[in-house]
Structure 1
């Protein structure tokens, strides 16, 4: 083999090694804000988000989701590529996240549940939190009728929820709640409501609202996007809007026809609003089955994000993209997390 042939072979080997070594990370956010209670760990403060974006600019290669998928298909994913995504469609994505994304020139994809656009009610998990997780007293015994079945709870000490207990729960996740606590009671009802269709869930929330004697008025801190805010969010070249169903259900808990309607309608809603094709999707709660994946492919999406915690690499499936959930870390801790994810 001549010198030129050897040089070409060497470059080819280097290119293959580069492709095999290239790893990317997709980040999952929900909210950029500060709230009193965050039982699902959805909130990152604006200050910490700014620190995280600064870390991304210094130590990674930020890409849009669309750019990452195209690079994957071309076999040319930049090493240490990072994609920022948001789920649900909270208004703070526009008011708090977008200005910082623009300041740090970082692209992002926001997956929006279209049934909540412009609604006066909060996302159902937030509404349930507002009804049940406020300092004060609830009835000692509670009954809730769901699908003609009556469920009973005896709250015991959880009936009284002191300010001290409330403040102590500020850093506690719902699934880590101490048995017998008010937060544990909240989690038990959340588990009961989560597989329901939206109409049944709203009926249950209205029933809960009646027995706790609290109105269903949404808090300004928990608004979902208004129609004009959704349009403003996508203005410019940094933010892309993706689909996230209509009512944010656990898709695998429902029939194929139900899943098909939720996915197709969310895509159609957004395409009508944005006047462009919508080709990216995120599974609500990261929940799906093989039928769901096939529906996504059939409806013309080019990618779909899951909640599987893993890196994105040559073996990844573009319709089951892994993502790492981001917590309210400062810049130093976020840097450590990135190093763990990239296995530095």
Structure 2
């Protein structure tokens, strides 16, 4: 084992111990925390899978964040006044957002952003189902559906246009763009393709839902410089899968906003939400 590997393992063990300590003592709440944060959710329901949490768990999350922070709409995390703000985001427009999430948003009266891959609304196309079961990191030709031709992948249950229209009409929910077909934007440099996936998806959402769409989410958190450029020209802000919070809000890149992964164990999510956790990370890095 190299010295660097040993250092990373020791740091990880130390942060896990601190997360457990914070879960037992809430010590992070004694620390002045102005680091706004964005929580990244996927599915909220019972089935197992990456990014999934139970409905009961989501309720506990809401209990915690509404007690300790101000839950605001996504652009509010770029404001540096009025205490710590936390925004809720949901990727992929699964049916369980309509069934499980929306009722709880209404019960707690908190806003959220739902990022929609438009070609999956109404059902997951067989040719693209693999994009919810495979990682682009493992496949150089990930954007080519023929690579996965013949592979049986059960697509997730996606929201219908009727349900999405109802969701978009709710004042607590803002719809954002998540491309047309959920590709790996890190491997796309062609301007025409990027505009089709990014701007075209936005235009479909605006036309079908009758709303303005100005926020974007990079599928898998991956992007090329060209992709960011197209997003900058067509949207107001964008979120990534980069793990973190906004410690220096004035210096934040509004087109590469980090998020906290909400599907981790509760004690780790709560620790990850604290500015103290990330300032300690900077000290040891």
Which position in structure 1 is the counterpart of 2:65? 56
**2:138 corresponds to:** 191
State the 1:89 CA deviation: 1.4
Q: Which runs of structure 2 are paired with 1:264-343 in the superposition (5 Å)? A: 264-299=199-234, 301-312=235-246, 313-330=249-266, 334-339=269-274, 341=277
Distance in structure 2 (CA, Å) of the matches to 1:23 and 1:323: 12
* Counterpart among 182, 185, 190 of residue 256 in structure 1: 190
> Equivalent residue for 1:92?
96
Q: Which protein is bigger by CA-based radius of gyration?
A: 1
Shift of 1:333: 5.4
Structure 2: runs of 5+ lacking an equivalent: 1-31, 281-285
Misfit runs of 4+, over 6 Å = none
Q: Is the 8 A contact 2:184 2:220 kept in 1?
A: yes
Shift in CA distance, 253/127, structure 1 to aligned 2, threshold 3 Å? closer
Equivalent residue number for residue 124 of structure 1: 129
Q: Which residue of 1 aligns with 2:82?
A: 78
Deviations 1:251-281 (A, max 9, x none): 1212322222210111111010121221000
Name the structure 2 match of 1:142. none
Correspondence for 2:36: 24
Task: Please report the TM-score for the alignment, with normalisation by the length of structure 1.
Answer: 0.64
- Deviation of residue 66 (structure 1)? 3.1
C-alpha contact (below 8 Å) 1:33/1:44 kept by paired residues? yes
**By how many angstroms is 1:190 displaced?**
8.0
Q: 1:196 to 1:26 in 2, by over 3 A?
A: same
2-structure distance, mates of 1:112, 1:77: 30
CA distance in 2, matches of 1:334, 1:318: 22
TM-score by length of 2: 0.77
Instruction: For residues 36-70 of structure 1, give each alpha carbon's deviation from its aligned partner in whole angstroms, at most 9, with x where no partner exists.
Output: 4x2xx31011000000000011000100013334x
Q: Secondary structure at the match of 1:103?
A: helix
CA separation in 1, counterparts of 2:206 and 2:277? 34
Task: Indicate conservation of the 8 Å contact 1:43/1:328, yes or no.
Answer: no
Secondary structure, aligned partner of 1:253: coil
* Residues in 2 aligned to 1:65 and 1:127: alpha-carbon distance in whole angstroms: 25
Q: Distance in 2 between matches of 1:335 and 1:68?
A: 17
Cα pair 2:260 2:273 within 8 Å, conserved: no
Alignment CA distance shift 1:296-1:45 (3 Å): same
